[in-house]
Amino acid sequence: MPQTLAPPAPAPDPASARPSGSGTAPDPELRALAERHGLTVSGARPSLPEYTRQLWQRRHFITSFATAKLTAMYTTAKLGQLWQVITPLLNAGVYYLIFGVLIGTRRGVPDYIPYLVTGVFVFTFLQNSVMAGTRAISGSLGLVRALHFPRACLPISFCLAQLQQLLYSMAVLVVILLAFGQVPTWSWLLVLPALTLQFVFNTGLAMVMARLGARTPDLAQLMPFIMRTWMYASGVMFSISVITQGKHLPKIVLMLLNGNPAAVYIDLMRFALIDSFTRHQLPPHVWAFAGGWALLAGVAGYVYFWKAEERYGRG
């Protein structure tokens, strides 16, 4: 009687050895087989040092993507890249008319126009970084699903594009400062560490918002209201010290106003660029606050974003 050969046993599927967090308990034998042959789960999150190494290898992509994003931002406008400067200047003009003239917040603030324009430019850098970060993943799903790269490249490149935009605006700010009698001094060099710390803070916060925005796209519709409220509490159009002078506010309120990271970075830029803004107008330990906020947001935002790396673009 002829012997019937049994069909060969199917090869083990390495995917069945995936981590337990994927919804199916792993088979220990299959997991051992996959590890023995160097097989890994597709799309698994790398370790934090490895993730950082991959990110550094793509630094040229990050800078090129940031420049391309900034160039494409105004391609359909007739004035093109000039809108990078015109938009914050128009905002400053509106705030001067409403707050400076009608409400009178310019009283008690020397060099109010340089004071106002500096605040508007610095807060616009923060606001645009956060808004771009919120849409970094949800607005780039095609790129995320088509290519394999560290997803942190996106919020970092978006913040870098906003930094480039701010640097263009700084050229106009220098003209305004000179027109209103501000003379370049050694204190202007403080702009570099102040902007560096703010860029780290903005990037960390953008990474937090990128993860939240990837899970809840509707968050992008809510953020303009949150950022507008933050702006009104940051002394962009008025002096916090002048407004709170003579008022018996609770200490916790004063601490929140002085420790507000947006106000901290704005005050540092004003101190660096405007002669009439002296160190006595700075909140205590301002550089410690600036460095602490940058370290906290940068490290915590990076780790928080990395922990969801394998989930971006799925679902």
pLDDT of residue 199: 96
Length of the chain: 315
pLDDT digits (tens, 9 = 90+) for 199-255: 999 999 999 999 999 988 889 899 999 999 999 889 888 888 877 776 777 888 888
Q: Supply the DSSP string of 22-87, one letter for each residue.
A: GSSPPPHHHHHHHHHTT---TTPPPPHHHHHHHHHHTHHHHHHHHHHHHHHHTTTSTTGGGHHHHH
CA 144 – CA 210 distance, rounded (Å): 13
How many Å separate Cα 185 from the centre of its chain?
30
Q: Which pair of structure tokens corresponds to residue 143?
A: 């790129």
Distance CA 259, CA 292 (A): 10
Other C-beta atoms closer than 10 Å to the C-beta of 161 total 23
Q: For residues 18 and 35, is the Cβ–Cβ distance under 8 A?
A: no
* CA end-to-end distance (rounded Å), the chain: 55
Six-digit token string for 196: 């560096």
Token couple for 306: 């990395």
Total-model pTM: 0.83
Question: Is the separation of the CB atoms in 294 and 200 below 8 Å?
Answer: yes
Residue 5: DSSP 8-state:
P
Q: In 3D, which of 215, 185, 204 has the Cα closest to residue 277?
A: 185
pLDDT of 1 = 46
Crossing angle of helices 191-215 and 219-232, rounded to 10°: 150
Cα–Cα dist 149/58, whole Å: 8
230 phi and psi angles, rounded to 5 deg: -60, -40
> Do 58 and 149 meet the contact criterion of CB atoms below 8 Å apart?
yes
Side chain identity at residue 236, one-letter code: V
Q: What is the C-alpha to C-alpha distance for residues 274 and 292, in angstroms, rounded to an integer?
A: 24
The residue assigned the tokens 């710390």 is: 197
Give the amino acid at 233: A
Q: Which single residue is written with the structure tokens 């940051």?
A: 234
Low-confidence ranges of the chain (pLDDT < 50): 1-6, 9-23
Written as six digits, the tokens of 194 are 């102040």
Q: Diameter of the chain by CA atoms?
A: 109
CA distance 98 to 76: 31
Q: Is 181 left (phi over 0), alpha (psi -120 to 50) or beta?
A: left
